[in-house]
């Protein structure tokens, strides 16, 4: 069962209400922990081309374009959007009017900042609520693929219920490090940096699953009380704008028992520069 957690808390006076401000799939509910005015989900108002498939892999070298294989449709009527990638050199001009190399020029290297856990919801355990940890984040580029994605609506897709957009974008395969001084988080992951304009970019990195490398135990994030809050996923959301780099630690939770519990998704901590989405 999926309901807004704000509705849940309205029916449960022992919990503090939480505004729903973070986009999530229809099968989940939204949580937003904003006790100290964190920047919010850094990818909240940026198009999220998740309902897509790859039509073909196009490699461009100079004036030569080579078409790759076409993947089959997803589902009976295919995905909402069909993405056609064109692989580019890192110093190649893009339709955004900037090269990947130029965009990354002032974005790479380690940055020292703070990871601050929110004060709400009150179901957060005392072990983590309001805690601040020294954090180092780093965006790395080590020759990863650069590609322009041409995204178009799939004419065979049943459009009822699709409220998204098919958005062209530049994608860059990068490395992303998220390491606290005490190694509660010691995460060194591959990521895809997405640019929808020449001035900003976003990335989302899943930490759980597959699993955390640091000592942080997701089972300690919420109080051991009824209804039980169980963390089923953790990821880092980030947004880059100018020289600014900031984001959130996001979690997916199940409130209650699996059969009739409520699924929720939202931020539990924030880090880096405050950047308006």
CB of 248 closer than 8 Å to CB of 41: yes
Q: What pLDDT sits at residue 160?
A: 64
Residue 193 CA, distance from chain mean position: 10
Residue 225 to residues 18, 239, 269, Cα–Cα distance (Å) = 18, 34, 21
Query: pLDDT class for 76, splitting at 50, 70, 90?
Result: low
Please choose, from the candidates 205, 215, 210, 208, the residue with its C-alpha nearest in 3D space to the C-alpha of residue 232: 208
Please choose, from the candidates 155, 210, 160, 163, the residue with its C-alpha nearest in 3D space to the C-alpha of residue 187: 210
pLDDT: is 68 or 31 the higher one?
A: 31
Q: Is beta strand 109-117 parallel, antiparallel or unpaired with respect to 81-88?
A: unpaired
Q: What pLDDT sits at residue 59?
A: 43
Q: What pLDDT sits at residue 22?
A: 34
Query: pLDDT class for 5, splitting at 50, 70, 90?
Result: very low
Q: What pLDDT sits at residue 161?
A: 63
Between CA 146 and CA 172 the distance in angstroms is 5
Q: Is beta strand 186-195 parallel, antiparallel or unpaired with respect to 169-180?
A: antiparallel
Q: What pLDDT sits at residue 259?
A: 77
CB of 202 closer than 8 Å to CB of 107: no
Average pLDDT for residues 152-181, to the nearest whole number? 88
**pLDDT at 29 exceeding the cut of 70:** no
Segment 211-241, tens digit of pLDDT: 999 999 999 999 999 999 999 999 999 999 9
Average pLDDT for residues 76-100, to the nearest whole number? 92
Q: What pLDDT sits at residue 162?
A: 66
The structure tokens 């880096």 sit at 272
Reduced to 3 states (helix: H, G, I; strand: E, B; else coil), residue 141 is coil
Average pLDDT for residues 32-43, to the nearest whole number? 44
Domain ranges of the chain: 5-272
pTM of the predicted model as reported, rounded to 2 decimal places: 0.75
CB of 169 closer than 8 Å to CB of 147: no
Query: pLDDT class for 258, splitting at 50, 70, 90?
Result: confident
Q: What pLDDT sits at residue 44?
A: 53
Q: What pLDDT sits at residue 261?
A: 85
| Mean pLDDT of the residues in the chain | 79
Between CA 37 and CA 248 the distance in angstroms is 12
Q: What pLDDT sits at residue 33?
A: 39
Between CA 125 and CA 114 the distance in angstroms is 19
Segment 94-153, tens digit of pLDDT: 999 999 999 999 999 999 999 999 999 999 999 999 999 999 999 999 999 999 999 999
Segment 172-185, tens digit of pLDDT: 999 999 999 999 99
Between CA 96 and CA 94 the distance in angstroms is 5
């Amino acid at each position: 069962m999926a309901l807004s957690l704000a509705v849940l808390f309205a029916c449960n006076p022992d919990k503090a209400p939480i505004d729903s401000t973070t986009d999530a799939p229809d099968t989940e509910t939204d949580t937003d922990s904003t006790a100290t005015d964190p920047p919010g989900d850094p990818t909240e108002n940026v198009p999220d081309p998740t309902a897509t498939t790859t039509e073909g892999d196009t490699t461009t070298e100079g004036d030569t374009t080579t078409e790759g294989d076409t993947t089959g449709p997803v589902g009976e009527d295919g995905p909402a959007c069909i993405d056609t990638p064109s692989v580019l050199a890192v110093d190649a001009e893009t339709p955004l009017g900037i090269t990947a190399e130029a965009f990354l020029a002032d974005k790479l290297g380690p940055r020292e900042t703070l990871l601050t856990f929110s004060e709400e919801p009150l179901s957060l355990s005392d072990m983590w609520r309001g805690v601040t940890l020294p954090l180092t984040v780093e965006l790395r580029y080590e020759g990863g693929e650069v590609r322009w994605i041409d995204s178009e609506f799939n004419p065979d897709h049943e459009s009822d219920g699709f409220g998204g957009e098919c958005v062209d974008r530049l994608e860059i395969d990068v490395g992303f490090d998220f390491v606290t001084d005490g190694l509660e988080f010691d995460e060194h992951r591959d990521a895809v940096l997405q640019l929808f304009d020449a001035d900003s970019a976003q990335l989302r990195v899943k930490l759980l699953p597959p699993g955390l490398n640091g000592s942080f135990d997701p089972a300690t994030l919420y109080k051991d009380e009824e209804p039980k809050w169980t963390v089923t996923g953790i990821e880092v959301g980030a947004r880059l704008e100018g020289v600014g780099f900031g984001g959130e630690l996001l979690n997916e939770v199940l409130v209650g028992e699996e059969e009739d519990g409520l699924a929720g998704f939202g931020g539990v901590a924030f880090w880096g520069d405050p950047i308006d989405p």
